[in-house]
Amino acid sequence: MVKNQSIAVSVRLDSDAVRALKILESAGMTRSEAIRTALLEAALKKRHHNAIRLEVEALAADEDDRQEMLDIAQFMNSLHE
């Protein structure tokens, strides 16, 4: 992990991104803080989604778990009959 390394980045923002940046700036953030925060939050969200996807894939591949889900669904359906 790289620590305390900063790089300058140039970015072209569309109108939606400009509006979002203005909102963050109006809340007291500098442009750099707003962009850093957005990048960190996007990365965290991506990691979270990837972790969920991997968990779902693992559950889908677990034959015992799939059978148990089917058994529960059939039982629940039988309660409504």
Summarize pLDDT for 4-58 with one digit per residue, the tens. Answer: 788 898 999 999 999 999 999 999 999 999 999 999 999 999 999 999 999 999 9
Structural domain of residue 47, as residue ranges?
15-79
Contact 63, 70 (CB under 8 A): no
Mean residue pLDDT of the chain comes to 92
> Is 10 part of any domain?
no
Cα–Cα nearest to 35, from 9, 3, 4 = 9
| Mean pLDDT, rounded, for 70-76 | 95
- Cβ atoms within 10 Å of 77's Cβ, excluding its own: 9
| 52, part of any domain | yes
Distance from C-alpha of 29 to C-alpha of 79, rounded to nearest angstrom: 56
Total domains, the chain: 1
Token duo for residue 72? 């529960």
